[in-house]
Amino acid sequence: MVTLENIKEAQKNIRDYIHKTPLVYSNSISNMTGLQVYIKVENLQKTGSFKIRGATNKILNMSAEEKMNGVVTASAGNHAQGVALAANRLGIKATVVMPERASISKQLATKGYGAEVILHGNSFDEALKYAKTIERERGCTFIHTYDDVDLIAGHGTIGLEILDEIPDVDSVIVPIGGGGLISGISIAVKGKKNDVQIIGVEADAAAAMYLSRKMGKNTPVISLHTIADGIAIKRIGDITFPIIQKMVDDVVTVEEEEIAAAILLLMERKKIVVEGAGAVPLAAIMNKKVRIKGKKVVLVLSGGNIDMNILGRVIEKGLVKSGRVLRIVVELIDTPDALARLTSVIAERKANIIHIVHDRLSHKLPITKTIVELNLETKGFEHNREIREELINKGYKIGEI
């Protein structure tokens, strides 16, 4: 079991190897939610994620012989980079096994931090199995992605930093993947101030802890298709599960569109870029998924390593979710001026057409009709309602895409 004393010792161990990340008050998000919202920006941590904390603590606690033999791990993202940099800073050889589907940017970043990167398998499980083979063959130390007491203690230093700056905090909201982060934070925070509410958030598509609490036992999930790939874990750890059961007050889930909207909100209002996993605490409070005790709330933004290839799609989803993009289908009579008259109505309502598809050949339509699909840039939900009403009043038949 990890204790508060373990976390205090970890804080002493790693303080020269990490950033003490800022805790930022957000006026805009506070006004939107009616809470006093503070943001712990671990996306600004070295390697762009909290993972460097636990990895550094783990390696520092290894024996001299273990350090000589090096370390091996399996990861597709943040953990890989955390282990790579921690090992590099401490002069230890690191081998990281990544699935072949791992993003090129994360492969390059891990190599850039000095690790040997081996691509193996089509899934994390296959990469993990091969990493365990390397452990046996080379005699190096395997570092788990989340289910390790030294990792948990290292991650718990975030909780100590939160209490140092906001001793009267009421609630701390934390992403849950395998459970290492929230386990450490909950032990640190409740060890010093037991009445603080700790809430965990998962993506609905990868809600292993939510399901496990419902079932009363550690239960794996099957589907892991989520933009919050940093917390897309099939099973909670054997060490972390009982800690979460004991220390965490509630676990909630958020939908993909809610995560995307939270990423967009942080970019627009706070000029902060986070990955999907880092955005789930904000998604939870924006969509009233949690019942907050008190007013003073800290959101832990766990990481900022979002893949640039999917960022554009995430922004589009966020714009739709927040009402800033309206997607509609309009049925027209197929005459030469029909499309011009439709766009004139939209222009009068001050909406901007950002994408249009004019389909005159669909087999579902009579020869006298045509379909137009429109993506419109709008001011929000009220503006969207006005556009729909205007089109209907003008005699147009409309539907949603």
How much of the chain, in percent, has pLDDT values that exceed 70?
99
Q: Are 74 and 44 in contact (CB under 8 A)?
A: no
Kindly report, residue by residue over 288-341, the tens digit of the pLDDT.
Answer: 999 998 899 999 999 999 887 788 888 888 888 888 999 999 999 888 889 999
58/83 Cα distance (integer angstroms): 9
Among 35, 33, 37, 90, residue whose Cα is nearest residue 61 = 90
Class for domain 1-322, per CATH? alpha beta
Name the DSSP class of 144: -
Domain boundaries, the chain: 1-322, 324-400
The Cα-based distances of 163 to 42, 139, 192, 222 in angstroms read 15, 40, 8, 37
- What does the block give as tokens for 149? 């007491």
Q: Spell out the SS3 assignment of 11-64.
A: HHHHCCCCCCCCEEECHHHHHHHCCEEEEEEHHHCHHHECHHHHHHHHHHCCCH
207/200 Cα distance (integer angstroms): 11
pLDDT band (50, 70, 90) for residue 366:
confident
Class for domain 324-400, per CATH? alpha beta
Kindly report, residue by residue over 24-82, the tens digit of the pLDDT.
Answer: 999 999 999 999 999 999 999 999 999 999 999 999 999 999 999 999 999 978 999 99
List 254's β-bridge partners, or say none.
203
What pLDDT score does 1 carry? 85
Note whether 1-322 and 324-400 share their fold.
no
Kindly report, residue by residue over 327-350, the tens digit of the pLDDT.
Answer: 999 999 888 889 999 999 999 999
Name the DSSP class of 204: G
Residue 200 has pLDDT above 80, yes or no: yes
Q: Are 44 and 22 in contact (CB under 8 A)?
A: yes
With 0.85 as the threshold, say if the pTM is over it. Answer: yes
Q: Are 67 and 93 in contact (CB under 8 A)?
A: no
More confident residue, 255 or 400: 255
Question: Which backbone phi and psi does 296 adopt, to 5 degrees?
Answer: -90, 110
57/60 Cα distance (integer angstroms): 5
Q: How many CB atoms lie within 10 A of CB 394?
A: 11
